Structure 1
Amino acid sequence: MIRFAVIGTNWITEKFIDAARQTGEIELAAVYSRTEEQAGQFAEKLGIPHRFTDLEAMAGSGAIDAVYIASPNSLHAQQAVLLMNHGKHVLCEKPIASNSAELKAMIEAAQQNGVLLMEAMKSTLMPNFEAVRDHLHKLGRIRRYVASFCQYSSRYDAYKQGAMPNAFNPAFSNGSLMDLGVYCIYPMVVLFGKPQRVKASAVLLGSGVDGEGSLIAEYGDMDAVIYHSKITHSALPSEIHGEDATMVIDKISAPGNVEIRFRDGSVETLTQPQVENTMYYEAKHFAELLKQGKRECATNSHANSLLAMEVMDEARRQAGPVFPADRK
């Protein structure tokens, strides 16, 4: 059993813990929170034996092998590097860092310490994404990738009333591109690699983060069009357009249904059975990599994470959002 610790006591951490336990290969050994009360309540609720309020102490603990980081985006790099310097393997929530400079430091720490570092981009490890990749050739020459993730944030109403929730605070390296756009960009670089050019625009909120935006990535003989938003909602699916057929993906952040619609009107369903808690696949994959002694994921690789981050860096440079982490 791999002894895991978690950083963060929010709903996403609870979901990961449920997924990790379903793998049968991960034992939840510790939780870190800034306060003793929060750490204690979370540990008691989920049956976690060790609790920490000092990250350095947890990093040096012999009770854990790996850590799942689900803290605010701006803390990912600092926490991951500390943990990896103590020999801990790291599964880090998306986006893995604030910018490519931070990510390069994380990759360097992983390589120097011989530990596994993987971005927790669940969608690219799911069976239905594997179906996308395996059947892409049936589309003929691909001309366009269209991805949309627009989801009205539950915290936007509070923001409009004058509050400053983390989701709209640039101090935490947040915003629509970072929180939702990454789900569109990561599959793009996994499937098609590095774009030649990126053109981006965004609607900036008063706090300085982007509420919504769009991006065009040029690949020479094809392009990619991406929509993301935390201040509007959309039911649009995502698509990959080929000269022979179009592939329709219901939800780019967690593909549940995938089909190919050919020009002659025929339809091929590619949908694969999946477990309900789709975080299972990232947890299972991470555990298998550790069992095999591997230090990098082939799909959620260091190179793909860096490519996605560089695209987001350029999009922010053009569209305007600047984080305190960019000035370090």
Structure 2
Amino acid sequence: MAIKNRIGVVGSGPISCAMIDAINESSNGEVIGIWGRRFHLAKELAKEKGVSKVYGSLNEVFEDDEIDTVYIATPNASHYEPAMAAIEHGKNVVVEKTAFMTIDQANRVFHAAEKQNVFVFEAVRSIYEPNFQILKNAIKKLGKIHGATLKYQNYSKQYSALLKGGKAPLFDENHGGGTLRTIGIYPIYIAIQLFGVPVKSFYFKQLIVKNIDLGGTCIFEYKDYKITMLISKINLTNDSISEIYGENGTLRFHSLYDIRTISYRSIINDIEETISEPISDNSLLYEITEFSECILMKNRTAYREQKNITLKAISIIEQALNGGTL
């Protein structure tokens, strides 16, 4: 029997449900048990997914000797404590994006993981998807890069509640909300993966509600070009197409995660060809398979690469929200 990465799930919301399906679909992982703030919901999810264990407390998750890895899918602001507790118990950690609120938290977590000889991964699905790899390889078709526009604009009904003085946790930075932290991570990760670390970065907020990150324009400045990211939870748009421009043509792709359509249009012959491939209905499959492979094979080279990207992305977000530049 093949050795598998045995995973305990912390959180019982929609993303946990999708991740459990992805783990079950993978060839190298299995779900051992589930914990949720509301025990009855965790119990219902476990029954639905055929998971035998439902934990009554977080400590039960960390103390379970059957578990190799803890998957954390609680609200952003509550990632740090369970991640540190899992590491202290010798568990690997997969934590939903955005992994940690500050670069100080991230450094502490990764330092603790090094001491315990375990791995910590941030679950940003897009960079593990097969079509992202196709996109990355297709960059060379463009020749000299002229720039790019990366879009993630998705209107949230919580904006209306915010304007009326109601609850809007999506925009509450005290609970890990705010547009840059919740969805801005996708274009930032993609930009770093495709183009490297920028020379400078800037974030221009939409200044509609004071001290609330509703979205805005993030710019990465490189030596010869700029990457523009349009990020918003208050703009309604029918066009989510992102583009990368070069001397020879343009790459276009729909969505910054769950990437299903990529095309290349050549300036030479003005022909647009589709270069993407069909992928799984559940695109979380690719990241969890990669994480499990890395953990089982103890691939520290791949781990360090992903750790460095996480640290750089969190640093950029933190400085941008504080009004600074990289």
The equivalent of 1:282 in structure 2 is 287
For the residue of structure 1 that corresponds to 2:185, the secondary structure is helix
Is 2:245 the partner of 1:241? yes
**Deviation for aligned residue 1:102:** 1.1
For the residue of structure 1 that corresponds to 2:156, the secondary structure is coil
Q: How does 1:1-328 map to 2 (within 5 A)?
A: 1-204=4-207, 206=209, 208-234=211-237, 235-264=239-268, 265-295=270-300, 297=302, 301-318=306-323
* Matched-pair identity in %: 27
Distance 1:299 1:143, change over 3 A: farther
Q: Distance in 2 between matches of 1:236 and 1:278?
A: 18
Aligned partners of 1:170 and 1:208 also within 8 Å: no
What letter is aligned with 1:259?
A: S
For the residue of structure 2 that corresponds to 1:4, the secondary structure is strand
Q: Deviations over 1:166-219 (max 9, x none)?
A: 212222121111111111000111112211111211125658431121111111
Q: Distance in 2 between matches of 1:184 and 1:300?
A: 18
Q: Distance in 2 between matches of 1:282 and 1:161?
A: 39
Q: Distance in 2 between matches of 1:206 and 1:30?
A: 42
For the residue of structure 1 that corresponds to 2:17, the secondary structure is helix
Q: Distance in 2 between matches of 1:298 and 1:143?
A: 31
What letter is aligned with 2:256?
A: I
**Deviation for aligned residue 1:118:** 1.0
Distance 1:298 1:258, change over 3 A: farther
What letter is aligned with 1:4?
A: I
Distance 1:273 1:298, change over 3 A: farther
What letter is aligned with 1:9?
A: S
Across the two proteins, how many residue pairs are aligned to each other? 319
Q: Distance in 2 between matches of 1:244 and 1:298?
A: 34
Distance 1:204 1:20, change over 3 A: farther
Q: Distance in 1 between matches of 2:69 and 2:44?
A: 22
For the residue of structure 2 that corresponds to 1:20, the secondary structure is helix
Q: Distance in 1 between matches of 2:135 and 2:262?
A: 7
For the residue of structure 1 that corresponds to 2:98, the secondary structure is coil
Aligned partners of 1:125 and 1:299 also within 8 Å: no
Q: Distance in 1 between matches of 2:106 and 2:148?
A: 26
Aligned partners of 2:206 and 2:215 also within 8 Å: yes
Unpaired stretches in structure 2, ≥5 consecutive residues: none
Distance 1:207 1:30, change over 3 A: farther
Q: Distance in 1 between matches of 2:173 and 2:301?
A: 30
State the Cα RMSD in Å. 1.9
Q: Distance in 1 between matches of 2:151 and 2:38?
A: 37
